Structure 1
């Protein structure tokens, strides 16, 4: 059975989340503490992490930041309150894949979980419509079926969102995507006003695949518009 980690210090909400995940046939590990949750995430390859923002020892934002800094690619759904709009933006920028606002119902929660996992396992239509399931570009190899990336034969660990961004751009070299389009295509929701989230994720991908962040050769900036994958490599 797939295993999920729930990092939530509100007992009632934690129990609700666990019930919903069990209905989706998950085995569940649960902790009330942010630091302990981070340590658990380092030791176990979870297929999903549900992460509250307000936690003892280490807040959810820092937990998410540290998880991504350790190249842990598990999909993360943040649990936020309605008043925490800025935190939802920052959560996405630090590497969360989605968020859900308290209070939430069973259908909304399970729909968000399924959507995150579907996007982390699936491929974009314009990729699957091509016969070439491996994209090669100047030492960079992107396997769309295995959702893996190698550079010069060395595997590069990307989060689901980082992989989706890279593979979407690489599947259409030379085509410029604006930030709003990337938000809609990769996150699957209309996150209007969250365009800076794209910048943060692009920077993380560049840090992992580029030889020089200041002179990128794979992901180029289309000034005043968005980003594109270099068609000349």
Structure 2
């Protein structure tokens, strides 16, 4: 018997909330709905979700950014997929800085939404592409060191906190230092998304990892191709 997979959909537009619920329930998910932050927090306290679909624009004085910030501040690392009506990089970056795992922009395909939920759950559960052996030795590129078994990151000797997705992206690059990974390959291997997905998911997450690692970041941009990790670092 498959375990229950529970999704909390925080959306104030009833038609969109019902559409998301219908498609998720068709795929076997249990779905809870909330239209504002206060209701979402009450529902999550009663029945903790495995993933949260979180609209940025919400009524009641607190928005999706506030909820994501509050979750991470109390140490709740339940995967969060932000949903925004604005295709604005500022919104995406703010959400990812707060620890969101992914984002989708309205209008979205319900099937794509379900695929994103599944991919985030696979990553958070340590699916085959993201699972590390406890005995796998740490990775070191330049000043950055990763402990794959414990999922810890240091710059020099200072710990750095990365989200699940950020860690998986950095680990994937650092496992093969110097090897250039096209964006499509990273989408497929790290996110479990189709390699022809047209979103800027990879670029936004790379920007966030670089921001957290500062001038020690080993991630190098190869124009027109993708990204690599090596001691030459960034060339944007």
- Whether TM exceeds 0.5 here: the answer is yes
Aligned mates of 1:67, 1:191 — CA distance in 2: 31
CA drift of 1:51 comes to: 1.6
Whether 1:8 aligns to 2:8 is no
The residue aligned with 1:52 is 55
In structure 2, which of residues 168, 174, 177 is the aligned counterpart of residue 164 of structure 1? 168
CA drift of 1:171 comes to: 1.2
Determine if contact 1:42/1:67 at 8 Å carries over to the other structure. no
Task: Report SS of the residue matched to 1:122.
Answer: coil
CA drift of 1:228 comes to: 2.4
Whether 1:177 aligns to 2:176 is no
Give the structure-2-normalised TM-score.
0.63
CA drift of 1:50 comes to: 0.8
CA drift of 1:183 comes to: 4.2
The residue aligned with 2:230 is 230
Give the structure-1-normalised TM-score.
0.63
How large is the RMSD of aligned CA atoms in angstroms? 4.4
Determine if contact 2:222/2:228 at 8 Å carries over to the other structure. no
Task: Summarize the Cα distance change of 1:103–1:219 in structure 2 as closer, same or farther, 3 Å threshold.
Answer: closer
Aligned mates of 2:54, 2:39 — CA distance in 1: 12
Task: Summarize the Cα distance change of 1:34–1:165 in structure 2 as closer, same or farther, 3 Å threshold.
Answer: same
Task: Summarize the Cα distance change of 1:142–1:7 in structure 2 as closer, same or farther, 3 Å threshold.
Answer: same
The residue aligned with 1:74 is 78
CA drift of 1:114 comes to: 1.8
Whether 1:219 aligns to 2:215 is no
Aligned mates of 1:2, 1:136 — CA distance in 2: 33
Task: Summarize the Cα distance change of 1:59–1:131 in structure 2 as closer, same or farther, 3 Å threshold.
Answer: closer
Task: Summarize the Cα distance change of 1:231–1:153 in structure 2 as closer, same or farther, 3 Å threshold.
Answer: closer
The residue aligned with 1:205 is 209
Mark the runs of 5 or more structure 2 residues left unpaired by the alignment. Answer: none
CA drift of 1:169 comes to: 0.5
| Length, aligned pairs only | 215
Task: Report SS of the residue matched to 1:158.
Answer: coil
CA drift of 1:177 comes to: 3.1
Task: Summarize the Cα distance change of 1:131–1:33 in structure 2 as closer, same or farther, 3 Å threshold.
Answer: closer
Aligned mates of 1:112, 1:199 — CA distance in 2: 17
The residue aligned with 1:143 is 148
Aligned mates of 1:181, 1:64 — CA distance in 2: 32
Task: Report SS of the residue matched to 1:30.
Answer: strand
Mark the runs of 5 or more structure 1 residues left unpaired by the alignment. Answer: none
Aligned mates of 1:170, 1:50 — CA distance in 2: 30
CA drift of 1:165 comes to: 1.0
